Structure 1
Amino acid sequence: MQLDFTQLAPADAYRWLASTVTPRPIAWVSSLSAEGQSNLAPFSFFQVISDEPPTLMVNTSIRDDGSVKDTLRNVRDTGQLVIHLVSAAQAEAMNATAAWLPHGVSEIDTLGIATLPSERVAPPRVAGAAVAFECELAQIQPYPADRPSCYLIFARVLLAHIDDAVLQDARHVDPARLDLIGRLGGSQYCRTRDTFSMIRPK
């Protein structure tokens, strides 16, 4: 099979990309509006893109009606966000926050998700998240620049909270204890406990 992506409809391009580029890590992003209303939403077009400076990237798509998501609006207005990684234990709660709510309605309040105060930024962090990155906005980039279908949020990591229970030692995380989930195509997810090792050649 060959797919000519220059001829595919956007929905078909998404379906093929999302079902082949897998597993994808999930960014569970908390933010605050300029008025102080909380928001919590998951994004699976997400990755670490730099270690110097430490930077994460989250892709926020534009809705069919042309509006932008609350996460983008909030981060653009306040310059702050917290990016959580999602463990299997929090999969259901993460999925619940993917539901569409009217602008200004808090997923945290609506779903009763427990939070803790952050230290360097104003948005709260999700209680029980094994990893939470407190971030400041580095850059927002529309893509493509001429007719954007999404916005890329580049978030510089200021502080990380890592649960001691997932540590292998003082310098390493145990992937089995971390027990993250990854996004596959459609409604499919996976767990990251099935691992193997290879030594990279010199």
Structure 2
Amino acid sequence: MTSPDGAPISLGTLAGGQTMHFDFSTMSSPDRYRLMASAITPRPIAWVTSQSATGTRNAAPYSFFNMMGAAPPIVAIGMMRRPDGTHKDSAQNILDTREFVVNLVGEPDAQAMNLTCIDAPPDIDEITLAGLDTTASTAIAPPRITTAPVAMECHVYQTVEIGTTTLVIGEVLHFHVRDEFYDAATRRLDTPAMQLIGRVHGSGFYARGTDLFELNRPVWTDPA
């Protein structure tokens, strides 16, 4: 049996009914991308600001992103290369300078973030193009986006070239939070108030992080 795009499919049985099986070793990269990107959601967005070795600024969003640890404080971003195999501007800047800022995206910045997705030439400053206000970083050259609820100044910890992806592992040097989102008494952020958005699927679908529910983590108690 094959899918509409010709990929081999086998059908198995689960308690909830049937499930389709895709053999990734036989599928094209775009087909694998469509399946994974529409299943692994919502994904937080790293709105990366970087700067070339010659001083040209760049801003671009990446949703292959997450926190990977706190000792040391590590984030990871997957940056796909162009079809011809060359690095896109953000990745090239990071490889050259080993510095970048991860800005988180609140819904008020959604349109500006989307504009910075544009496939502009390397000499175009997307920060200016999108009309973004920036603030100088504390320890690195790339600026942070002033309106971002959170901005993390990062230095490259390691980069790994994996197929068509450049995996950037960054160590967070400085963590900036807008005053209205930080509770000094609890030392926690008001996450719902930040109105963060995440990437979902398709050519332009995003999710709001406002439909929440809580589960308390269970604790194992040994009766002995």
Bin of the TM-score, shorter chain as denominator length: over 0.9
Partner of 1:61: 80
Partner of 1:172: 188
1:60-99 alpha-carbon deviations (Å, 9 max, x no partner): 1011121111111111111110001111111111000001
**Aligned mates of 1:55, 1:124 — CA distance in 2:** 19
Q: Higher mean Cα deviation, 166-175 or 45-54?
A: 166-175
Partner of 2:170: 155
Gaps of 5+ in 2: 1-19, 220-224
Q: Which has the larger radius of gyration?
A: 2
CA contact (8 A) 1:29 1:42 kept: yes
Q: Identity over aligned residues, as a percent?
A: 40
**Aligned mates of 2:173, 2:142 — CA distance in 1:** 13
Partner of 2:47: 28
**Aligned mates of 1:179, 1:201 — CA distance in 2:** 28
**Aligned mates of 2:119, 2:143 — CA distance in 1:** 20
Counterpart code for 1:53? P
Instruction: Give 1:105-116 correspondences, 5 Å limit.
Output: 105-116=124-135
Partner of 1:195: 212
The one of 76, 79, 83 equivalent to 2:102 is: 83
Q: After TM superposition, which residue ranges in structure 1, 4 or more long, deviate above 6 angstroms?
A: none
**Aligned mates of 1:195, 1:24 — CA distance in 2:** 16
C-alpha deviation, 1:169, in angstroms: 4.7
**Aligned mates of 1:21, 1:55 — CA distance in 2:** 21
Over the aligned positions, Cα root-mean-square deviation in angstroms equals: 1.0
Counterpart code for 1:153? V
**Aligned mates of 1:19, 1:169 — CA distance in 2:** 38
TM-score w.r.t. structure 1 length? 0.95
**Aligned mates of 1:181, 1:15 — CA distance in 2:** 20
**Aligned mates of 1:196, 1:164 — CA distance in 2:** 26
C-alpha deviation, 1:104, in angstroms: 2.0
Gaps of 5+ in 1: none
CA contact (8 A) 1:167 1:177 kept: no
C-alpha deviation, 1:176, in angstroms: 1.5
C-alpha deviation, 1:167, in angstroms: 2.6
1:97-151 alpha-carbon deviations (Å, 9 max, x no partner): 00100112110122221111111111011111100000111111011xxxx2111
TM-score w.r.t. structure 2 length? 0.86
Q: Give the 3-state SS of the residue equivalent to 1:83 in structure 2.
A: strand
CA contact (8 A) 1:175 1:193 kept: no
Q: Which protein, 1 or 2, shows the higher relative CO under an 8 Å CA cutoff with sep ≥ 6?
A: 1
Instruction: Confirm whether residue 5 of structure 1 aligns to residue 19 of structure 2.
Output: no
Q: Higher mean Cα deviation, 64-73 or 35-44?
A: 64-73
1:27-67 alpha-carbon deviations (Å, 9 max, x no partner): 00000100011000000000111111001001110111211
**Aligned mates of 2:211, 2:171 — CA distance in 1:** 30
